[in-house]
Amino acid sequence: MEERSVNNATQDYMERLRKRGFRLTNQRRIIIETLLENLGEHLNARELLERVQEKDSSLGIATVYRAIELLNNLGLLNMINLDEGFSRFEVPDEQMHFHIYCRSCGKVVHLGNEEEKAKIVRQWFREQAFEMLPQTFEMAGVCRDCQQQGVLEPPATSGGRGPGRRCRRRGR
């Protein structure tokens, strides 16, 4: 996102917080700005912390977690679970967003024709008399590259991770 767009979007988020009665702190502004600067990267809390500390080294992990929780509760940030043992975050640009991800290598793909898929989900909500909130849907699989390499995940009954399995993205 261009710097001007980031500034405008940051101001929009801050105004949403103000209208809901929340304080407009510099820490929140930095966190929101950093999330917007990194659209599409699906940062986790630790990665977000590293990036916000480049702007303000006094920001701590507790502040980042509180801001994430607040933004998520207000529907201004989506949490994504890719079976890594932690959540990733995405700024929603629509009411619903769909991903598929490889449980082996961590590759994330944004699905096309989202409006068609969203119509089906909205119908489910209407049938059950629910009001839908903005959110991201994550669906797991094994990508073609991993299949060709013979890498297959253990069955879902084992929790999607074998014993001693480490984070596939960080090797930890």
- DSSP 8-state code for residue 166: -
Q: What is the CATH number of the domain that holds 99?
A: 3.30.1490.190
The answer on 1 and 74 residing in a single domain is: yes
Residue 38 placed within a domain: yes
The average confidence (pLDDT) of the chain is 81
User: Which pLDDT band holds residue 134 (cuts at 50, 70, 90)?
Assistant: low
- In-domain check, residue 165: no
Do 54 and 10 sit in the same domain of this protein?
yes
Number of domains in the chain: 2
Is residue 170 a part of any domain in this protein? no
* 18 lies in some domain: yes
Q: Say what the pLDDT of residue 58 is.
A: 95
Give the three-state DSSP class for 59: coil
Q: Is residue 88 part of a domain?
A: no
If asked whether residues 105 and 156 sit together in one domain, one would say yes
Residue 13 exposed, middle or buried by CB count within 10 Å (0-12, 13-18, 19+): buried
Nearest 5°: the CA angle 69, 61, 47 is 90
Check whether residue 68 and residue 112 sit in a common domain.
Answer: no
Most confident of 1-5, 73-77, 132-136: 73-77
Judge if pTM exceeds 0.75. no
* pLDDT category of residue 172 using cuts at 50, 70 and 90: very low
Residues 74 and 133 in one domain: no
Return the pLDDT at 171: 43
Do residues 7 and 73 share a domain?
yes
Statement: residue 170 has pLDDT above 60: no
138, β-bridge pairs = 99
| Greater pLDDT, 154 or 42 | 42
Residues 37, 6 share a domain: yes
Q: Out of 53, 79, 105, pick the residue that ends a domain.
A: 79
Provide the residue range defining the domain that includes 99.
94-160
Assess contact for 101 and 107: CB atoms under 8 A. yes
| The pLDDT of residue 132 is above 80 | no
| Interval 1-28 mean pLDDT | 89
Number of Cβ within 10 Å of residue 8's Cβ equals: 13
